[in-house]
Amino acid sequence: MAILQVQDNNNPYQFFSGLATKQEGATLPDVTGPETNDVCACDLQCAYTEPVFAKVGGDWWKNDKSSFLFQKLVAADTITIKMYKNGSELFTVTDNTFGEYYSSFTNYSLYVGFVCYWENVFNTHGAGLY
């Protein structure tokens, strides 16, 4: 058993910093820049071209590969991968002729993938804009 004695603090420490307070503030006006005649680069649309390299009978480091991964929304969806050259359809990817084709993955059945071996495409269809 213990005997407790409550003693009042006659000189408490005045601590006001750090307490939450509410203060009304005025909103700032919208910031606008001066009007200019400059051309904004974001207004221009450029066709993006990514160069790839391929060499007939070349070593692996002289031939590029490009990877593509697509996801179905539902299992009933179908994904068709087609290769175009200069705007004309060349072929539909259905096997490993031009790279590695993955119709699905073991743990991710909604995904379809293709790794394009540009050496194989170049050997068959030559150089161009694909």
Is the pLDDT at 1 greater than 70? The verdict is no
Interatomic CA distance for residues 76 and 15, integer angstroms: 67
Q: What is the pLDDT of residues 16-72, one digit of tens each?
A: 666 666 677 777 777 776 776 666 666 666 777 788 888 888 788 889 999 999 999
The tens digit of pLDDT for each residue in 97-122 reads: 999 999 988 898 899 999 999 999 99
**Kind plus residue range of the DSSP H or E element containing 112:** strand 111-117
